[in-house]
Amino acid sequence: MLKLQTIENPYTLSFHVMPSHGLLNDPNGLCEFKGTFHLFHQWNQTGLVHKNKSWGHLTSLDLIHWKRQAPALEPSEWYDKDGIYSGSAIEKEETLYLFYTGNVINDDGTRASYQCLAISKDGFHFEKIGPVLKHPEGYTRHVRDPKVWFDEKTQRYLMVLGAQKLDHTGDCLLYQSKDLYTWDALGSIFSDKDFSQLSQRGYMWECPDLIELDEQELLIVSPQGFEAEGFRFHNLYQTGYFKVQKDNEKYRLVDPEFIEMDWGFEFYAPQTFETSDGRKILFGWIGPMTEESEKKLPTNEFGWMHSLTIPRNLSFKKNRLIQQPLAELKKLRQTKETFSLKKSWQLETADLAYEVLLDFPEGATDFEFTIKKETKIFYEKATRLLSLSRKNWVTGCLEYRHVKLLTDLSYLQLFIDGSSLEIFVNNGTEVATSRFFEQGPLQLSYQGENTGLSTCYSLGNKKTIEELIF
Ligand code: FRU
């Protein structure tokens, strides 16, 4: 029996996309179609393990309030019988095209993957067309996660896929099409020479996404198998971007540096889409975690696991990706309290969700900000080191993540929702996303001596998802 998500459950989320039950992972098929936003997500409806994936489906008119719809795609055919894996959506002539990976486990335990198409005229009823690509030579069966977009310059549709080469190195594959049904293979995204410039390659690249922001093209990708380097790459798997440029049938690396997009404990497999008003929006998965962390996840007893991030508005400024919380989130603000940052303050509330702004017009000096008792954000001015610590729910020990800021810390924006925390630093120059699990009412406290003001908005407790009763 599933327990109800109520205020008694301190871990529930009010304004994040989370599953009504079961396990959620990657955002899929983000799009605006016929005036409605559609968000799909990886969903195991039958258990808290990574199996039986289908595409959960929600719709929205404002990207904040969602209505759950019936699952859009579920395993049913020989080519997707063991899972509808990640993919994307694109509209053409009033029809929605969904591209996804059909996951198949053969009788001998080996895996097959098929890049498949499903179409819809209304965004609610989907017709499976089946596989549209041949498996590429030189690659293992780990080829997946089609992201499709229309390339204005060549007037073609392009597709990028996450892949693993036979030598077990990560890669991305490109395809092109005129009609979305027949696709020509263009091969690996980069030349061998470009690949040789990378300091790390990893063994598999997942969920690639190619976008252009303020005239800079970026490959956003989630590689597996990167080693930690200084403060970077400490999570199970990584997500970041390369600056790239289209070069005939390949892309060229403008810079070989892989820039991690989020320095928190959990952020993975994001996807972007463009709204009709021209904004590029990203949702990510607040994951992944080790098998042991998932097994012991404190939400398991309430029958659900994981969530998506809040929507982030993307831009590219001063040679960096900027990720800012979607402006529409302001709609959630209810009561407002302000505190001077000159001296310590504390707030306790029965509400689950809060947004906190810390504004340091003269640049922050050392301070500590605590959520409940054991989740802390702290800053050291001398080194410009901003840190996050939380209690690990498996070991019971404190664990840390850090980022070294390129400029002084002048602005922090925090979104706290039950058991999730998103930190936007200096207007989205750096972002950290994490879960934290602590019992008891929400407490916020600040210790420091700074010029500036903190503003705390209660975002209430009311869920922004209207669940469908099956
Ligand atoms: C990323 C991922 C994708 C795959 C999906 C399966 O988290 O592993 O590569 O399509 O999840 O759920």
Q: Domain extents for the chain?
A: 17-309, 333-468
Ligand 1 pocket residue status of 101, Cβ below 6 Å: yes
How far apart are alpha carbons 205 and 201 in whole angstroms?
Answer: 9
Measured from the Cα of 288, ligand 1's closest atom is 7
Determine the residue of 23, 24, 25, 88 to mutate for testing ligand 1's pocket, defined as the one with the most ligand atoms within 8 A of the Cβ atom. Answer: 25
Catalytic residues: 26
- In the reported structure, the alpha carbon of residue 288 is separated from the centroid of ligand 1 by a whole-number distance in angstroms of 10
Measured from the Cα of 287, ligand 1's closest atom is 7
pLDDT digits (tens, 9 = 90+) for 398-434: 999 999 999 999 999 999 999 999 999 999 999 999 9
Q: Which pLDDT does position 10 carry in this prediction?
A: 75
Q: In what order do the strands lie in the sheet with 375-380?
A: 345-349, 442-448, 367-371, 375-380, 385-391, 398-404
The domain made up of 17-309 has a fold known as Tachylectin-2; Chain A (2.115.10)
- CB of 458 within 8 A of CB of 351? yes
- Average the pLDDT over 189-213 and give the result: 98
Ligand 1 pocket residue status of 237, Cβ below 6 Å: no
How far apart are alpha carbons 237 and 224 in whole angstroms?
Answer: 5
Alpha-carbon separation of residue 284 from 14, 16, 209 (angstroms): 17, 11, 12
- Average the pLDDT over 166-186 and give the result: 98
Ligand 1 pocket residue status of 116, Cβ below 6 Å: no
Name the nearest CA neighbour of 386 among 342, 424, 437.
Answer: 424
Q: Which pLDDT does position 37 carry in this prediction?
A: 98
Preceding peptide of 288 cis, ω within 30°: yes
Ligand 1 pocket residue status of 42, Cβ below 6 Å: yes
HEC-encoded secondary structure of 427-459 = CCCEEEEEECCCCCCEEEEEEECCCCEEEEEEE
pLDDT digits (tens, 9 = 90+) for 238-273: 999 999 999 989 999 999 999 999 999 999 999 999
Q: Which pLDDT does position 215 carry in this prediction?
A: 96
pLDDT at 177 over 50: yes
Read off the pLDDT band of 468 (50, 70, 90).
confident
- In the reported structure, the alpha carbon of residue 42 is separated from the centroid of ligand 1 by a whole-number distance in angstroms of 8
Lowest-pLDDT range of 275-279, 321-325, 369-373, 438-442: 438-442
Ligand 1 pocket residue status of 12, Cβ below 6 Å: no
Residue identifier of the C-alpha nearest atom 6 of ligand 1: 85
Q: Whole-number mean pLDDT of the chain?
A: 96
Ligand 1 pocket residue status of 205, Cβ below 6 Å: no
pLDDT at 1 over 80: no
Count of beta carbons in the 10 Å neighbourhood of residue 39: 24
Measured from the Cα of 222, ligand 1's closest atom is 1
- In the reported structure, the alpha carbon of residue 199 is separated from the centroid of ligand 1 by a whole-number distance in angstroms of 24
pLDDT at 209 over 90: yes
- In the reported structure, the alpha carbon of residue 25 is separated from the centroid of ligand 1 by a whole-number distance in angstroms of 8
pLDDT at 5 over 70: no
- In the reported structure, the alpha carbon of residue 86 is separated from the centroid of ligand 1 by a whole-number distance in angstroms of 6
How far apart are alpha carbons 470 and 127 in whole angstroms?
Answer: 22
Measured from the Cα of 42, ligand 1's closest atom is 12
pTM for this entry:
0.97
Ligand 1 pocket residue status of 313, Cβ below 6 Å: no
**What is the CATH class of 333-468?**
mainly beta
- Are the folds of 17-309 and 333-468 the same? no
Ligand 1 pocket residue status of 144, Cβ below 6 Å: yes
What does DSSP say about strands 184-188 and 320-325: parallel, antiparallel, or unpaired? unpaired
Backbone dihedral angles phi then psi of residue 340, each to the nearest 5 degrees: -75, 145
Ligand 1 pocket residue status of 80, Cβ below 6 Å: no
- In the reported structure, the alpha carbon of residue 56 is separated from the centroid of ligand 1 by a whole-number distance in angstroms of 14
How far apart are alpha carbons 84 and 141 in whole angstroms?
Answer: 15
Read off the pLDDT band of 198 (50, 70, 90).
very high
- Average the pLDDT over 283-301 and give the result: 97
How far apart are alpha carbons 108 and 193 in whole angstroms?
Answer: 38
Lowest-pLDDT range of 6-15, 37-46, 110-119, 337-346: 6-15
HEC-encoded secondary structure of the chain = CCCCCCCCCCCCCCCCCCCCCEEEEEEEEEEEECCEEEEEEEEECCCCCCCCEEEEEEEECCCCCEEEEEEEECCCCCCCCCEEEEEEEEEECCEEEEEEEEEEECCCCCEEEEEEEEEECCCCCCEEEEECCCCCCCEEEEEEEEEEEEECCCCEEEEEEEEEECCCCEEEEEEEECCCCCCEEEEECCCHHHHHCCCCCCCEEEEEEEEEECCEEEEEEEEECCCCECCECCCCCCCEEEEEEEECCEEEEEEEEEEECCCCCCCEEEEEEECCCCCEEEEEECCCCCHHHHHCCCCHHHCEECCECCCEEEEEECCEEEEEECHHHHHHCCCEEEEECCCCEEEEECCCEEEEEEECCCCCCCEEEEECCCEEEEEECCCCEEEEEEECCCCCCEEEEEEECCCCCCEEEEEEECCEEEEEECCCCEEEEEECCCCCCEEEEEEECCCCEEEEEEEECCCCEECCCC
Determine the residue of 41, 42, 236 to mutate for testing ligand 1's pocket, defined as the one with the most ligand atoms within 8 A of the Cβ atom. Answer: 42
Q: In what order do the strands lie in the sheet with 170-177?
A: 139-151, 156-165, 170-177, 184-188
- CB of 260 within 8 A of CB of 238? yes
Ligand 1 pocket residue status of 40, Cβ below 6 Å: no
Determine the residue of 85, 100, 147 to mutate for testing ligand 1's pocket, defined as the one with the most ligand atoms within 8 A of the Cβ atom. Answer: 85
∠ CA 97-253-147, rounded to 5°:
10
Q: In what order do the strands lie in the sheet with 53-60?
A: 304-305, 22-33, 36-44, 53-60, 66-73, 465-466
pLDDT at 382 over 70: yes
Ligand 1 pocket residue status of 239, Cβ below 6 Å: no
- Average the pLDDT over 297-313 and give the result: 97
Backbone dihedral angles phi then psi of residue 309, each to the nearest 5 degrees: -75, 170
Q: Which pLDDT does position 460 carry in this prediction?
A: 84
Amino acid identity for residue 197 in this structure: Q
- In the reported structure, the alpha carbon of residue 27 is separated from the centroid of ligand 1 by a whole-number distance in angstroms of 10
pLDDT digits (tens, 9 = 90+) for 315-352: 999 999 999 999 999 999 999 999 999 999 999 999 98
Measured from the Cα of 145, ligand 1's closest atom is 10
How far apart are alpha carbons 299 and 348 in whole angstroms?
Answer: 23
